[in-house]
Structure 1
Amino acid sequence: MPSLKDKVIIITGASRGIGRAMALRFAEEGATIVIAAKSDKPHPKLPGTIHTVAEEVEKAGGKAIAVALDVRKELQIKKLCDQIGEKFGRIDAVVNNAGAISLTTVEDTSPKRYDLMQQVNSRAVYCFGHYALPYLKKSENPHILNLSPPVNLKEEWLKDYSPYTLSKYGMSILSKGMAAEFKQYGVAVNTLWPKTYIATAAIEFAVGNKETLNYARKPEIMADAAKVILTHPSNNYTGLWLIDEEVLKAAKVSDFTQYAYNPDYEGKIKKDLFLD
């Protein structure tokens, strides 16, 4: 089986949730993980910082580099890419996992919140594509993986929270464009989205409440799917809008009960946003 051993992987928003799960999964294979997130200091409500995850990565068998990063600041992204690229001679993968969410209408979304979502979601994908590309070109199997959904223009996904929807679809459209543009360099660009709710702070605080987590799967399903994607040959696996369960089924995974956040709710897990 292809491995991520010694691969240099940048993961944004890696201090908790899906990003943390990916960091630990890749660490099990001996990868070097750049844990890039704003969480330099403990959050009053949410567990995890870049430093606690760095410790977990090392314990799991990987190497960790903790970097305080605000993905809204393009010069911070440039500095990070240059430092990592020059230190290792390459970047093997970038996972754009950091996200901002507000499920609010145009009427109820302030310009400040609108700008935040566009910057953290779609603009960060552009910035990492722009600044990481010179170092991705030097990798044997370079990947960019963006956590965004297939573009679905049904009215139900636009009517109630189009500012957020635009920011996530922007990530997916940029991914398609970069996949075509970067194919000449052998750099794969794909998106990954969960088929179901994933038990994260976003689901608990933005979509529902603590009870909602019972209807979700654990972040580990996204981590396992990402591992499959990042070990595919980059020259022929690009420009895809991927769903976690479909990726794992293609990899011969058949038991999805292991991913249920609450096994008692296994048959009641809810489908995620943007999926019919």
Structure 2
Amino acid sequence: MKLEGQVAIVTGGARGNGLAIAKALASEGCRVALADICEDIPTVPYRLSAKETLNRAVEEIRGMGGEALGIVCDVRSAPSVKALVDEVKQRFGRIDILINNAGITSLVPVVDMDEATWDDTLDTHLKGTFLCCHYVVPHMIEAHYGKVVSISSVGGQRGFGMGAHYCAAKHGILGFTKSLAMEVADHNINVNAVCPGTVWTDMMKGLAEHFGMEEDEAKEQFCEGHLFKDREITPEDVAEAVLWLCLPESRCVTGNMITVDSGWTAAAG
């Protein structure tokens, strides 16, 4: 196992892409700490993970023979993130990998968007990425080793209507990734991002339900522009890209991104 003995933090780890990433890391021997907010956010038009969801995720990883820990954490809050990092360090003694995956979304035109919606979106994606790196990277510097992978999006490379807040946050993650990579390269730390296209997770299901869309209708609309019409992007597809960026084989890749979008950005020009 290529990650035997290592420890990873995965934010937004209770379900969807986060859980798939945690399982992929665990399959290579990595001990994983799954962090999730475990409560709803008023500006988000769908239900977020509950504590029971996080507990089930932990048990699922343990059931496959992995070692996992579930921690409630709001990545928008510095004290909450610090407590997460302190608990993982105390429990496992090290932190080798950080996956910044926590995310929310909504579809709101700029002229109708309230400040809270903007703040919650930017704080979850961009501030959360900053805070997690702020508290984790010093441990990586001390160990002279680390892998940081942040989940951006095709919305971090382009824009789309009613998604200015989401796209701004995801663009920011890419800029942050490139800058941090330059700061920590001398400490043997790789910093990269993964940009998924539309992945049919609970987040997307909740968004479709909010707009009263049937599943087939929502998939057709949200996945429009994917070149492969006969396959959906799955959380496992995203997880495989993240996993590779955490393996020794990616040692010369930093400040970069992998796009898992079924060709959407290529088709968009």
Match of 2:98 among 91, 94, 98: 94
Match of 1:146 among 141, 146, 150: 150
Residues 24-63 of structure 1 correspond to what in structure 2 (within 5 A)?
24-39=23-38, 49-63=53-67
State the alpha-carbon separation in 1 of the partners of residues 110 and 136 from structure 2.
Answer: 33
Match of 1:225 among 229, 241, 248: 241
Residues 75-114 of structure 1 correspond to what in structure 2 (within 5 A)?
75-114=79-118
Task: Give TM-score, length-normalised by structure 2.
Answer: 0.81
CA deviation digits over 1:123-172, x for unaligned, max 9?
A: 0111111110121224464111100036535xxx1654222211111111
Does residue 125 of structure 1 match 2:125? Answer: no
Residues 261-276 of structure 1 correspond to what in structure 2 (within 5 A)?
271=264, 276=269
Name the Cα RMSD after superposition.
2.9
Q: 1:146 to 1:11 in 2, by over 3 A?
A: same
What is the SS of the residue equivalent to 1:10? strand
What is the SS of the residue equivalent to 1:188? strand
What is the SS of the residue equivalent to 2:112? coil
Residues 247-266 of structure 1 correspond to what in structure 2 (within 5 A)?
none
Look up the match of 2:215: 210
What is the SS of the residue equivalent to 2:111? coil
User: Does structure 2 retain, via aligned residues, the 8 Å contact 1:199–1:217?
Assistant: yes
Look up the match of 1:13: 12
Name which of structure 1's ranges 220-229 and 199-208 shifts more when overlaid on structure 2. Answer: 199-208
Q: How far 1:44 moved relative to its partner?
A: 6.8
State the alpha-carbon separation in 2 of the partners of residues 160 and 44 from structure 1.
Answer: 20
State the alpha-carbon separation in 1 of the partners of residues 153 and 189 from structure 2.
Answer: 20
Q: How far 1:271 moved relative to its partner?
A: 3.2
State the alpha-carbon separation in 1 of the partners of residues 48 and 126 from structure 2.
Answer: 26
User: Does structure 2 retain, via aligned residues, the 8 Å contact 1:40–1:50?
Assistant: no
Look up the match of 1:238: 254
State the alpha-carbon separation in 1 of the partners of residues 49 and 96 from structure 2.
Answer: 30
User: Does structure 2 retain, via aligned residues, the 8 Å contact 1:37–1:69?
Assistant: yes
Look up the match of 1:64: 68
Task: Give TM-score, length-normalised by structure 1.
Answer: 0.79
Q: 1:81 to 1:233 in 2, by over 3 A?
A: farther
Structure 2: unaligned runs, 5 residues or longer:
41-45, 224-231
What is the SS of the residue equivalent to 2:35? strand
Q: How far 1:98 moved relative to its partner?
A: 0.7
State percent identity of aligned pairs: 25
Q: How far 1:238 moved relative to its partner?
A: 0.6
